[in-house]
Amino acid sequence: MTLLKEPDFGTPAVAGEAAVSLEVDGHPVTVPAGTSVMRASALAGIDVPKLCATDSLDAFGSCRLCLVEIDGKPGTPASCTTPVTDGMRVRTQTPRLEKLRQGIMELYISDHPLDCLTCSANGDCELQDMSGVVGLRQVRYGYEGSNHLDAPTDSSNPYFDFESSKCIVCSRCVRACDEVQGTFALTIDGRGFDSKVSAGGMSFMDSECVSCGACVQACPTATLQEKSVVSLGMPTRSVITTCAYCGVGCSFKAELRGDQLVRMVPYKDGGANEGHSCVKGRFAFGYATHPDRVLSPMIRESITDEWREVDWDTAISYTATKFQEIQERYGIGAIGGITSSRTTNEEVYVVQKMVRAAFGNNNVDTCARVCHSPTGYGLKQTFGTSAGTQDFRSVAQADVIVVIGANPTDGHPVFASRMKRRLREGAKLIVIDPRRIDLVRSPHIEAQHHLQLAPGTNVAVINAMAHVAVTEGLTDQSFVDDRCEGFDEWAAFIARDENSPEALEPVTGVPSAELRAAARLYATARNAAIYYGLGVTEHSQGSTMVMGMANLAMATGNIGRDGVGVNPLRGQNNVQGSCDMGSFPHELAGYRHVSDDAVRSIFESVWGRPIQPEPGLRIPNMFNAAIDGSFRAMFIQGEDFAQSDPNTQHVTAALTAMDLVVIQDLFLNETSKFAHVFLPGTSFLEKDGTFTNAERRINRVRPVMPPATGKHEWQVACDIAQAMGYPMHYDHPREIMAEIAAVTPTFAGVSFEKLDKLGSIQWPCNDNAPEGTPIMHVDAFVRGKGKFVPTAFVPTSERSTRKFPLILTTGRILSQYNVGAQTRRTANVAWHHEDVLEIHPHDAEVRGINDGDQVTLSSRVGETLLRAILSDRLPVGVVYTTFHHPITGANVVTTENSDWATNCPEYKVTAVQVGLRTPATPAAEPGMAAIPVTISD
């Protein structure tokens, strides 16, 4: 395995159709019109020397090293900024060009510390390379005059240094921050000799920088360099793999030196990210080798006992025996298992198979229950498949982008950068969110409409938008007539006065005129796309809202081509995959109901075991049954229920009531306090398999190092099943994928071999689409006709009251991830070391709360402590927090309310009260989930 160096063609590819033919140093080449001479030369196999150009950025033309001669053109134009023309004859290497380039390099080198042998970029420096390429043999100018050799180094960022004495002011970093990331944190200050890169006149850490690493990636010298490279040296080999954080699913080159991971470099050929990254995937991988990792299995008889380390055989046989004893005593339905959206498709598949074939029941559910289960339900009802409609690339064709209940710059940052690029190009933006997220106004972007609705009124807003489309004649009737069913009934419902923006304004808080304008903008766009997140799904009407968005998209013909669609931004890296793999109690892999005899028989013939035709228990049902005493044991793969699920007291009561709780995870966590068996899991760096991202893109996860635990996670489920008497064995995860493909029509064409060949595949992949399906429902919906479903608005029962007059809504921030188990064990804590409560200054003032005060946050189910931050991002009456830190225990206050169709918890609406913490209020114990209290409303 060697270090993979991707080619750099100097300027971006051009999509133009017209072909232009030219000759470079006598070599013919044909390229799309608009291509630069530099790129055409590179495609002809001739690399023109360059410093300020790189193919992820638009040409800039500042270094002048890429000069060429062109027949019939005077002078020596820069090849990076000169477009090709038909019949052009280019010379890249002549005595005149040599001399000019040497002169340019001489100037650069005369103001550069020539410490190449001890420089961290030695061997990976374009300045060094170009000196060699242009044949620089002497530098006539000494260091006597003015220079920048004493310029300071900024080490404030935890992950990279800015050694400004090495800067050649090529501006690649500034342009990467602008064009690729879209943060505009850097500028070139000063002019001429005084020009220097500046992070707004302050340190990187204090600046607007979000630590995405794009500037580090773009820098041709050691000026912007990963600290890990400075301390460990240049990597020598790389492995292509996939980020383990969010549902964007970015591809990375894991670059190693020996067995040590030095850095993660975003992979240019990654279909989801095309060479970009965020701070988490790029830098926050240290948790994988953190000393807190549990590497040996542990058991204990009682949760009050100390943990006892045991070998794998003992742990497996203990677990299997206990499961069997419980089933013998309480029945086969007394146990169940939970799959994790943080594990691979193959690992999820074997866990649900273990439950169905070895446990003999359908008591399997997934952590996706608490985030995107309404997406699965709503899109299946309307479109026929439980997944988003587009690939990420599609956003580049959208003219109107609607972001509902999502905060992409924090939650899905790499996709947000793609979206922001399109917005800078002129697409219009509608944000529907109670909170003023960054996208509403950020550099060079301003939303046309921010519909700042009251939490819990999504359905009212989407119905009102559809009302405008229907009653103002803005629907796409030919699309509806050709491709959909149920329109007339739905249109009659939606046209009722009760669904008008005016009638709903008192409920939603959204001015009717603004809502009408937003609806018209969406409905009349050439291409309008909806992107949404947990602010849509985590509501009592989560599924209704998903169907409401699908209705609106169908009614306006915004389905089935580039630039449109209904697109869930998935939270965890493999939340799509965990749902695809049959993790729900009512569905087998590929979203097929367990009651379908034909479907069951496919699995039964491959698995050799009968499958129960009745759906099993969902997570909340398991907890309720545990408290009732009929559900006694649970296998939990990578899910920290005691921190991430709502109504923590109820969850912990259920966990305490069980006879056996088996956890498979990287670290001891809040839930493991209630566990009897701890089976160490593997990090993404050790896994071998696939993740499926929010675009249905199946990406390979390749092992960078062997499992630190001595066992792959998929082997553990197999071993437990085996020990319970069900033979389940694979030699390699590719065999698991082969089985998935054999039993799942949408995966029929997927194999590790094909993934290695194509890089990634978007399902469905089968005989009809052998290389996958980037855009769904192109000619027809998966269910045949798209189905309109009336979506009556039913207000949540969770309302503000005299006792709990505020509404709490929750979200996430860029640097932390979910319950923080990974990111809290990295230097990302530098940005977010605690969860805080955002409260409107008016609400704070009436409670005597100042910025930074400790406050109590209480609901009818519990109370916790937080620091308050005054913020006018929220309307009066709404407060906001994140749930990344266990000490906060934000879910102590969230209630048991859930989506009517899927039981997805209503995290986004909780009636609360906030009060100044008095000296008498006991402090939360570190690591404990705050103070459970019982309060009756």
* Count of alpha carbons within 13 angstroms of residue 75, beta-carbon side: 7
Q: How far is the CB of 11 from ligand SF4 (least distance, A)?
A: 16
Q: What residues line the site for ligand SF4 (CB under 6 A)?
A: 167-173, 176-177, 181, 183, 185-186, 197, 209-215, 218-221, 223-224, 243, 245-246, 248-250, 273, 277-278, 280-281, 412-414
C-alpha atoms less than 13 angstroms from C-alpha of 256 in its C-beta half-sphere: 16
Partner whose footprint covers residue 554, from ligand FES, ligand SF4, none (CB < 5 to 8 Å by kind): none
Q: How far is the CB of 410 from ligand SF4 (least distance, A)?
A: 10
State the minimum distance, in angstroms, from the CB of residue 74 to ligand FES: 18
> Phi and psi of 346, rounded to 5°?
-65, -40
Task: Return d(Cα 858, Cα 933) in angstroms, integer.
Answer: 9
- Look-up of token digits 């500034």: 174
Partner that binds at residue 51, options ligand SF4, ligand FES, none, CB closer than 5 to 8 Å by kind: ligand FES
66 binds, among ligand SF4, ligand FES, none (CB under 5 to 8 A by kind): ligand FES
Pick from ligand FES, ligand SF4, none: which does 213 bind, CB < 5 to 8 A by kind?
ligand SF4
Q: How far is CA 713 from CA 151, 344, 708, in A?
A: 50, 9, 11
Minimum distance from CB of 320 to ligand SF4 (Å)? Answer: 36
Per-residue DSSP letter, 590: T
Question: Of ligand FES, ligand SF4, none, which one does residue 63 interact with (CB within 5 to 8 Å by kind)?
Answer: ligand FES
The binding site for ligand FES (CB under 6 A) comprises 50-53, 61-66, 78, 80
> What does 65 interact with, of ligand FES, ligand SF4, none (CB < 5 to 8 A by kind)?
ligand FES
Of ligand SF4, ligand FES, none, which one does residue 218 interact with (CB within 5 to 8 Å by kind)?
ligand SF4
Tell me the C-alpha distance between 717 and 389, whole Å: 33
| Distance in Å, CB of 215 to ligand FES, minimum | 17
Structure letter (DSSP) for residue 526: S
**For residue 880, how many other CB atoms are within 10 A of its CB?**
22
Q: Residues near 853 by Cβ (< 8 Å), separated by ≥ 6?
A: 867, 868, 916, 917
**Which residue number, 51 or 109, has a Cβ lying nearer to ligand FES?**
51
Partner from ligand FES, ligand SF4, none binding residue 181, C-beta < 5-8 Å depending on class: ligand SF4
Min separation Cβ 49 and ligand FES, Å:
8
Nearest distance, CB of residue 53 and ligand FES, angstroms: 4
CB 249 to ligand SF4: min, Å: 5
Q: Name the β-bridge partners of 677.
A: 299, 662
Burial of 421 (0-12, 13-18, 19+ CB in 10 A): middle
Identify whether the C-beta of residue 151 lies closer than 8 Å to the C-beta of residue 161.
Answer: no
- The least CB distance from residue 9 to ligand FES, in Å, is 12
The letter for the amino acid at 538 is E
CA distance 368 to 386: 12
For ligand SF4, the closer of residues 200 and 877 by Cβ is 200
**Residues 61, 178 contacting (CB under 8 angstroms):** no
Task: List strands edge to edge, sheet with 224-226.
Answer: 153-154, 160-163, 224-226
Minimum distance, C-beta of residue 79 to ligand FES, in the bound complex (Å)? 6
Copy the structure tokens of residue 249: 């699913």
Tell me whether residue 11 or residue 457 sits nearer to ligand FES (CB atom).
Answer: 11
Binder of residue 64, out of ligand FES, ligand SF4, none (CB less than 5 to 8 A by kind)? ligand FES
Task: Decide which of ligand SF4, ligand FES, none touches 167; Cβ closer than 5 to 8 Å per partner kind.
Answer: ligand SF4
Nearer to ligand FES, 53 or 431 (CB): 53
Nearest approach, Cβ of residue 688 and ligand SF4 (Å): 19
50 binds, options ligand FES, ligand SF4, none, Cβ within 5 to 8 A by partner type: ligand FES
Complex with ligand SF4: residue 376 or 408, whichever CB lies closer: 408
Closer to ligand SF4 at the Cβ: 280 or 711? Answer: 280
SS3 call for 698 = strand
b/e per residue 366-375 (b: at least 16 CB within 10 A): bbbbbbbbbb
108 or 907: CB nearest ligand SF4 = 108
Nearer to ligand SF4, 356 or 570 (CB): 570
Tell me the closest approach of the beta carbon of residue 80 to ligand FES, in angstroms. Answer: 3
Cβ closest to ligand SF4, residue 250 vs residue 914: 250
Cα separation, 662 vs 224, in Å, equals 45
Q: Which does 908 bind (CB under 5 to 8 A by kind): ligand FES, ligand SF4, none?
A: none
Nearer of residues 65 and 789 to ligand FES, judged by Cβ: 65
Residue placing its CB nearer to ligand SF4 in the complex, 280 or 650: 280
Residues 315, 68: Cα–Cα separation, whole Å: 69
Whether 619 contacts 903, CB under 8 Å: yes
Helices and strands (DSSP H and E) totals, the chain: 28, 39
Cα 408 to the chain's mean position, in Å?
Answer: 9
Q: How far is the CB of 66 from ligand FES (least distance, A)?
A: 3
* Helix ranges (DSSP H) in 472-609: 477-483, 487-494, 501-508, 512-524, 534-537, 542-555, 575-580, 597-607
The residue written with tokens 């299997």 in the block is 320
CA distance 128 to 134: 10
Edge-to-edge strand list for the sheet holding 660-665: 308-309, 298-299, 677-680, 660-665, 633-637, 335-339, 364-366
> In the bound complex, what is the minimum distance in angstroms from residue 65's beta carbon to ligand FES?
5
* Among ligand FES, ligand SF4, none, residue 633 binds (CB under 5-8 Å by kind): none
Closer residue to ligand FES in complex, CB, 63/685: 63
**Partner whose footprint covers residue 229, from ligand FES, ligand SF4, none (CB < 5 to 8 Å by kind):** none
Cα 47 to Cα 703: distance, rounded to the nearest angstrom = 34
The item of ligand SF4, ligand FES, none sharing an interface with residue 169, based on CB under 5 to 8 Å by kind, is ligand SF4
Rounded Cα distance, 578 and 777, in Å? 22
277 contact choice in ligand FES, ligand SF4, none (CB below 5 to 8 Å, kind-dependent): ligand SF4
Between 10 and 182, CB nearer to ligand FES: 10
User: CA separation (Å) from 110 to 145, 685, 746, 806?
Assistant: 10, 43, 61, 64
Show the tokens assigned to 731.
């030699």
| Alpha-carbon distances, residue 522 vs 42, 383, 427, 455, 503 (angstroms) | 42, 20, 11, 22, 21
The least distance separating ligand SF4 from the CB of residue 164, rounded to whole angstroms, comes to 7
Counted residue by residue, the chain has a size of 937
Instruction: Report CA torsion sign: 336, 340, 345, 346.
Output: negative
Q: In angstroms, rounded to a whole number, what is the distance separating the alpha carbons of residues 78 and 83?
A: 10
Decide whether 224 or 335 has the Cβ nearer to ligand SF4.
Answer: 224
CB closer to ligand FES out of 52 and 528: 52
Residue nearest to ligand SF4 (CB): 281
- Residue 815 C-beta: closest distance to ligand SF4, Å: 10
Give min distance, CB of 181 to ligand SF4, in A. Answer: 5
CA atoms of 543 and 923, how far apart (whole Å): 39
Partner in contact with 248, chosen from ligand FES, ligand SF4, none, beta carbon below 5 to 8 Å by kind: ligand SF4
Nearer to ligand FES, 80 or 594 (CB): 80
Between 134 and 462, CB nearer to ligand SF4: 134
CA-to-CA distance for 301 and 77, rounded, in angstroms? 78
